[in-house]
Structure formats: structure tokens, C-alpha cells
Amino acid sequence: MSRASRRFYRSTGLGLAALGVLVWAAVDQFGISLEEMTELFLGTLGVAGGIIALAAFLVAVLTGVRKLLQRNDSD
């Protein structure tokens, strides 16, 4: 295994461990219920999905406009 891949896997593992600690602290220290955590997680996924969909739409529009402008320039 190369040095870069070891570094990648170590960073991924440490990031997941840190996320687990944050979830544990939210549940244990602040008394957030599992239902609330699920609701927050699904809300986060929804917002991230919306942003990705909006970005894809804008890329499609900009690509279409560029093609239309190139077609008009060649005429």
C-alpha cells in the first residue's frame, strides 16, 4: 500500500471517528433524542440534495446558452 493511500485511509478513519464522537456528545451531553438526530440528518441530506440539483440545473442552462451563442456566431 502506498504512502498516499495509507494517508487517505487514515484521514478517512479519523474523520469518521470524529463524526461519531460529535454524535455521541450530542446524544449524551445534550440529551438530543434519536428522532431529532434522524430529523436533522434527513434535513441536511435534503438541503445538500437541493443544492446539488440546483447546481446541475445551472450547469445545464449555462451549457445550453453557450451552445446557442456558438451556433449564432457560426451563422
Instruction: Kindly give the confidence (pLDDT) of every residue in the chain, 75 residues in length, as a single tens digit, with 9 standing for 90 and above.
Output: 899 999 999 999 999 999 889 888 888 888 888 888 889 889 999 999 999 999 999 999 999 999 988 887 776
The secondary structure of residue 73, as a DSSP letter, is H
Q: What is the pLDDT of residue 72?
A: 76
Q: What is the pLDDT of residue 11?
A: 96
Residues 6 or more apart whose CB falls under 8 angstroms from that of 37 comprise 23, 26, 27
Handedness of CA 11, 13, 19, 22 (dihedral sign): negative
Q: How far apart are CA 56 and CA 61, in angstroms?
A: 9
